[in-house]
Amino acid sequence: MLTVGDELTPIEINEVLAEDVLEWSSILNDPNPIHLDPKASAANGLGNRTVNQGPANLGAIINLIVSNFPDGMIEVIDVKFVGNVFSGDSLRASGRITDVNRDRDCSRIRCAVELRAGNRIALTGQVEIRLPGQPQSYRCSDE
């Protein structure tokens, strides 16, 4: 039974590839050179690797939620981007259940989430998920 305090199954990404950062720039129509050219990163005091896009970092968190709650619907994502992810970094998206509530026709789960690039925290926040029905495999916060 899932309950408050339980850890989500994390997602690990071995390496952020520079070519993937380039592709994200194309998809997002984001011309910021820190995503395209390591020299631009260096010129902005960000080291000698390209910077992964914030929405791509958020994507890792969304994948974390979708893989842990395949029947769920994300209702709220509230995150802060507290550090950069660079090409070559390994990533680990993790989370913990902080609240479970049953409504009349659904359950709502809140999770604290975090994305780490190596040992650095890149993103922190909260996600609220709506689950259809009232699955008995979740223990509510007030039970």
Partner 1 sequence: MIGGCRVVFSRPLKVEETYEVQAELLSLERKIGKRTGVMDLLKFNVILVETGGEVACTITYTWVLPRGKSNADGR
Binding residues vs partner 1 (CB under 8 A):
54-55, 58, 73-81, 125
Of 43 and 73, the one with the shorter C-beta distance to partner 1 is 73
Tokens (6 digits) for 42: 């260096």
Q: Is the dihedral of CA 125, 130, 134, 136 positive or negative?
A: negative
Residue 113: what are its φ and ψ, rounded to 5°? -125, 160
**In whole angstroms, what is the distance from residue 79 CA to residue 95 CA?**
13
- Integer CA distances (angstroms), 15 to 24, 91, 98, 123, in order: 15, 7, 29, 17
Shortest spacing between CB 58 and partner 1, in angstroms? 7
Nearer to partner 1 (CB atom), residue 6 or residue 46 = 46
Nearer to partner 1, 4 or 79 (CB): 79
- What's the one-letter identity of residue 79? V
Q: Which is nearer to partner 1, 46 or 139 (CB)?
A: 46
Q: How far is the CB of 19 from partner 1 (least distance, A)?
A: 22
